[in-house]
Amino acid sequence: MEEINDLIKQRLLKLDNLRANGVNPYGGKFAKSINISELLQNFEDAAAKEQKVAIAGRVMAVRSHGKSCFIDVKDSTGKIQNYIKAAELPEKSKIAFDNIDIGDIVGINGKAFKTRTGEPTVHAEDFTMLSKSIKPLPEKWHGLKDVETRYRQRYVDLIVNDEVKKVFELRIRMIARIRAFLDAKGFMEVETPMMQAMPGGATAKPFKTHHEALGIDLFMRIAPELYLKRLLVGGFEKVYEINRNFRNEGISPRHNPEFTMIEVYQAYGNCEDMINLTEELVTDAAKHLFGGYKVRHGDGEMDLSPPWERIPFREAIIKYSGIDYKKEKDLKKVAKDMGLDIREARLDEEFASKIFEKTVEPKLLKPTFVIDYPAALCPLSKKKPGEPELTERFELFINGQELANAYSELNDPIEQKARFEEQAAAAGSKSIDDDFVRALEYGMPPAGGLGIGIDRLAMLFTDSDSIKDVILFPQLKPEQ
């Protein structure tokens, strides 16, 4: 730490020296003529013509040779070597050069050439300090002790770790492809409220806030579902929203209190349509990102080739735990004996869901649709014809975690109100979303609805073990 403080003092002296000599250490606009990757792609031609270029980026290495040096400069697209000879620079450029450090952001005007060893290089004719770096970059940025620091100081992580940057570039391209896929199928992207008078669309603990002007409490949304279905009532037939949701619950490798989902609704569709859409959407993204259905997974590959397996909820529990929850006399005791947290569970189906999470989810490595969920777990889903204790719902599991949830949407306002009231009573509340029920009373077409966890899909495509690795700024405790 003392060594770092000494380095900072040296940099602050250089900062003062720049200012004292009339050089602005935090310059303004710099007119780049080319990105570094573009320059490198056509470097043979550029060097042959001694092409004049203007590049800008961060200094990542300095190799000094008296009055000249080689510096590596990196922009958002790549890195290139630059040759700088102090005697050839204008006076202010010479002052900037004399006060250079790794981490500084600089602009360089010069010409392309190759060194005797064939290294693509820019011979600097002018050198501009654009941002003086006061804190030195870390020499080593790995190890367990640095994991939280990497999340907390993501800006530094991105500077020094190209692999981290590639993760987020892939995430961005994944979302762009999902948008393009849905747009091509006639879905319209919409926006719905993030602050809601009554949180709905999922069972989760919300974040609460207060609106001073209206004098009311509001909740950060836990899901956009009920507003998107209001749009179906209003006549939109195919809608989606890439949405930020907020749940005031635990943090884990799979959970962040602020997370991203995509929800899709298709009028006149059903659960089967959503299965097909999910399979097609995920495999389409994989094809565009990786050129095929196989994605990196640990030391091997995960094959996403369709069609994907389907298994009923009850059958999955029997297969992987040996427990048939319909035949157990005291399912609560079974769940308790397994060491499960059942404090909020009341119904047998809720105990069964806890058993499913423990025994089934970790075994579902290949893409698997779990279907035929109990009606008691699905207050917004249509019941399965001929089997009213079940619903037309599925959850998609890949690599042992849930990636998607979908169902045939309940559009009967009387049944919906009854289910809301049952759910509220079980939670010890009397509040239900009367406006949503009213919307259904005007008539909502039959529909299929789908939610996919964007963060978890990014984890799959980037082979990441923690959701923090695919969220640029994950939630953390304040620094001590």
Instruction: Yes or no: say if 402 and 368 are a contact pair by the CB < 8 Å rule.
Output: no
If you write DSSP's letter for every residue of 384-436 in order, what string do you get?
ETTEEEEESEEEEEETTEEEEEEEEBP--HHHHHHHHHHHHHHTT-----HHH
- Rounded Cα gap, residues 217 and 226, in angstroms: 19
Average pLDDT score over the chain: 93
- Rounded Cα gap, residues 113 and 110, in angstroms: 10
Closest to 275 (Cα-Cα) out of 302, 309, 229, 242: 309
For the chain, what is the largest distance between any 2 Cα atoms, rounded to a whole number of angstroms? 89
Of 129-143, 150-164, 332-346, 409-423, the one with minimum mean pLDDT is 129-143
pLDDT (0 to 100) of residue 145: 45
In sequence order, what are the beta bridge partners of 245? 259
Cis ω for the linkage preceding 446 (within 30 of 0): no
Helix (H) or strand (E) holding 35: none
- Rounded Cα gap, residues 47 and 114, in angstroms: 7
- Count H helices, E strands: the chain? 15, 20
Closest to 229 (Cα-Cα) out of 379, 430, 443: 443
Of 7-21, 97-111, 428-442, 443-457, the one with minimum mean pLDDT is 428-442
pLDDT (0 to 100) of residue 88: 93
CB proximity list for 145: less than 8 A, separation 6 or greater = none
The single-letter DSSP state of residue 360 is T
**291-311: average pLDDT:** 95
Sign of CA dihedral 267, 270, 273, 279: positive
Is the pLDDT reported for residue 23 higher than 90?
Answer: yes
Name the pTM for this structure.
0.92
Q: How confident is the model at residue 1 (pLDDT cuts 50, 70, 90)?
A: low
Q: What is the pLDDT of residues 49-83, one digit of tens each?
A: 999 999 999 999 999 877 789 999 999 999 999 99
88 burial via Cβ count (<10 Å: 0-12, 13-18, 19+): middle
What proportion of the chain, given as a percentage, has pLDDT over 70? 98
CA distances from 232 to 3, 146, 444, 454 (A): 63, 48, 6, 23
Q: How confident is the model at residue 144 (pLDDT cuts 50, 70, 90)?
A: very low
Q: How confident is the model at residue 143 (pLDDT cuts 50, 70, 90)?
A: very low
pLDDT (0 to 100) of residue 140: 55
Cα angle value 44/106/33 (rounded, 5°): 45
Helix (H) or strand (E) holding 158: helix 154-160
Within 10 angstroms of residue 342's Cβ, the number of other Cβ atoms is: 17
Q: Which tops the pLDDT comparison, 120 or 4?
A: 120
CA distances from 19 to 12, 67, 84 (A): 11, 22, 22
Is the pLDDT reported for residue 253 higher than 70?
Answer: yes
Q: How confident is the model at residue 141 (pLDDT cuts 50, 70, 90)?
A: very low
Which domains are delineated in the chain? 2-131 (2.40.50.140), 155-308+366-469 (3.30.930.10)
Instruction: Yes or no: say if 175 and 454 are a contact pair by the CB < 8 Å rule.
Output: yes
